[in-house]
């Protein structure tokens, strides 16, 4: 489902790329700042860049606009959204309130197949981190965990917040230092597996504390050393 190929290594496929794969690749390009707020792009240029159909690119841009990652305006080129400090602060506050509730619910009804899927995702995140930032993939962990909670409206709301967190990490001077996100995610998962809501919430809260401190004290950057969400 997830791809980390750069635009330079992408080749045309003999069959249409799945929408989720194209979404992942375009969003990765945004988070890696290969497509940034200053980029001038169109549906056609992205279709050429990713060897995709223009209609498929249009669908991805529409999805990203719903997540407030891309700004679409009539008679204007699409552009990547630019987050400011206050938007980021409000987004992180809303995410904390929502995700803590979802993690508590996930602890009540974790299923073996869901836990297995999350372990595989963390393993992919770990391998990707060895090559560079895994911002989108790390955000995917939180979205998958939210799905386990069994509350569709809350999970849908979180789905509007996690991509914005990822964009903020990409656009602000978020230095990773020695913070290893996949290990944090593994600790949360193990607590959920034990149905230990207290520990799961504590680990999640510490993670969100770190993100808040990192993002709200940072400035815009083109840095390639970034922690994931």
Name the average pLDDT for the chain. 86
Q: For residues 185 and 9, what is the distance between their CA atoms, to the nearest angstrom?
A: 30
Among 26, 52, 80, where does a domain finish?
80
Are 134 and 128 in contact by the 8 Å Cβ rule? The answer is yes
Q: Which residue is associated with the tokens 């999970």?
A: 155
This prediction has a pTM of: 0.80
Residue 68: give its domain's CATH number: 1.10.10.10
pLDDT tens digit string along 42-68?
999 999 999 999 999 999 999 999 999
Domain shared by 138 and 164, yes or no: yes
Residues 157 and 118 in one domain: yes
The DSSP bridge partners found for residue 220 are 172
Same domain, residue pair 118 and 195: yes
Residues 96-153 pLDDT 10s: 999 999 999 999 998 999 999 999 999 999 998 888 778 989 999 999 999 999 999 9
Q: What angle do CA 228, 31, 56 make, to 5 degrees?
A: 125
Domain shared by 116 and 199, yes or no: yes
Does the structure show a pLDDT above 90 at 218? Answer: no
**pLDDT tens-digit profile of 167-186?**
999 887 555 545 789 999 99
How much is the pLDDT for 217?
A: 83
Question: Residue 97 CA to chain centroid, in angstroms?
Answer: 18
In a 13 Å sphere around the CA of 208, the CA atoms on its Cβ side amount to: 24
């Amino acid at each position: 489902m997830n791809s980390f190929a750069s635009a330079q290594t992408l080749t045309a496929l003999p069959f249409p790329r799945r929408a989720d794969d194209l979404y992942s690749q375009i969003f990765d390009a945004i988070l890696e700042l290969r497509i940034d707020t200053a980029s001038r792009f169109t549906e056609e240029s992205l279709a050429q860049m990713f060897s995709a159909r223009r209609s498929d690119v249009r669908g991805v841009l529409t999805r990203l606009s719903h997540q407030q990652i891309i700004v679409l305006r009539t008679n204007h080129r699409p552009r990547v959204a630019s987050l400011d400090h206050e938007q980021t602060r409000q987004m992180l506050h809303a995410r904390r309130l929502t995700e803590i509730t979802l993690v508590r619910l996930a602890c009540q009804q974790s299923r073996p197949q869901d836990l297995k899927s999350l372990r595989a995702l963390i393993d992919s995140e770990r391998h990707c981190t060895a090559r560079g930032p895994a911002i989108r993939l790390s955000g995917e962990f939180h979205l998958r965990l939210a799905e386990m909670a069994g509350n569709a409206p809350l999970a849908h709301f979180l789905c509007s917040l996690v991509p914005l967190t990822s964009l903020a990490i990409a656009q602000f001077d978020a230095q990773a230092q020695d913070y290893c996100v996949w290990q944090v995610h593994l600790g949360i998962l193990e607590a959920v597996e034990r149905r230990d809501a207290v520990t799961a919430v504590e680990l999640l809260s510490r993670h969100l504390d770190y993100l808040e401190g990192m993002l709200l004290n940072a400035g815009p950057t083109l840095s390639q050393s970034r922690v994931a969400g």
